[in-house]
Structure 1
């Protein structure tokens, strides 16, 4: 009798899993981001992966598949840089973990230790089509901490986790001096960072010696930047700060992502020559302070210059604490960015920059079944999201 119960339980679980995980999406237009859009297409999902994508006249939908229909289907959106999960919706001290102000240089801080998968802002961006978010310690410190990548529908960080340590977030803006006693000026800030990187170089050498030093979490984090295990994500908006970031990269030879870049249009040639990607500031960023000269046309200019870039929600100091990358991309298209380039900067481009393009970012056989279904053009403000699918499961209807 006990064996029958076990077998029945296994059968019911298997049947439920199969029913839940096998589905089809029919759409008038499918943007796979792996080639031309497909008109009148079908996506088949088996378990948590995409099984096949193509024109409807070439694909038969199995009889037991759950079918979802939409005007447009795209890959799940990837927010290139956010603080959701560390910054909370209430804008109160108890839900604001994105910036530790006890020291201006703390690369050892880990987002995974603060990320709240149940935070309402995470659910909010999921409902707006963001299925993967690169989040963590935000701008405002010379080195504020490490970032992580998470899927948005899950209730614990362990379930959500895609990558536990992705970048170390650095900031070269005037805002740093407002949060800390030191540095007071840009040159002091750079001197402090350079000194720490020099110490990290020495730490690496000493670790290989016969008398290695005691573990130092700050040095370990910076050593990982120097040896390429972690990328330096440097927030810089003014042209002078962008150039300073490029000099720092050149001096120490680390991998770098330029973040923010409000005045990128003034130094496009230099950014392109440095061969670095950009997490562009939100198109509708408030234009004051370091972002005073931000432009609606920056995304189009980066595209025209052939510089890889992706849209981010960024850091918001006001309630509700986050922007929505879909809206930021939609505005950018009104100022010269081609529509498919905008979709690319919401999906495939951020996945490539973050090194997770084998999992997400496009609709391709074998990739995670993260799909957003729209009732119209995704970049039109009158369009609604009908459904969101993550890892083959419908998480928003």
Structure 2
């Protein structure tokens, strides 16, 4: 039985062959379209509007050679980014989307600045289950140890990618977070402290416990200090890959956002076990993440599924964007049961609420 997603009507053989060629030449098109965007070619055509511009008019700009224009314009034409009518080049809807859609731009930069060179090592990374492409950015066992030292523009593009999806979700879920009146909240995978800052600002009586690698917590500590919120925050430097490291206990609520996808299934199961042990008797666990199977639109599922190779080649070597059932199954192994599920948060998040079984 076919999964509902990505199961359109059967393709005709000729159309299927065309789609296959799009995949084969995908990296080429990516770079040509990116050149047209980053070098101002798309912007010039957008300014011209429906009138478009001839190649001679574009050449008069002085920004590109005649050769570069021919190569890039034709590639953009093949990708549906541009139209050509009566010898004039016109920006099509896809081109306008690249110029105006923040998510598209962030995804472009993330793929180019963080992933592209390292993805050449995807085959070896899949076989070894190690992020062998990470060497293109730095010498760390996983990307997370090197987050604070990532070179530019990879660092800015990584944080823009991460924050684009999480920042749109935090304001929406704070009522869910405090629905049970928790006073002791643990933010596991606190990163730069974005969620903790939002939670401390939302509920003046809550105490936050931030758990992450020392490098990330150093950034979070500075952000908390700058906001004047350090007094209600406790920092716990922990490497979650070290199974001997326990978490602080008696927590009313444990929060994990876009965190578990950084780990393999075995590590996720172990984290759930330690989180379950850290809960107060009536405590709960909230997991917010991007599950490709819970998306309303195929475009979101497509983007999420194709983020998984980044985790393989660049981040950890053995993690991915999971289906929601994977988390539920692994949480149940730790003695937790799913209470509720809420979809449609921000761009593409879902919220799973667990408690002791």
TM-score interval, smaller chain: under 0.3
User: Which one scores higher on RCO, CA 8 angstroms, separation ≥ 6?
Assistant: 1
Question: More helix by proportion, 1 or 2?
Answer: 2
Question: More strand by proportion, 1 or 2?
Answer: 1
- Calculate the TM-score normalised by the size of structure 1: 0.25
- Calculate the TM-score normalised by the size of structure 2: 0.27
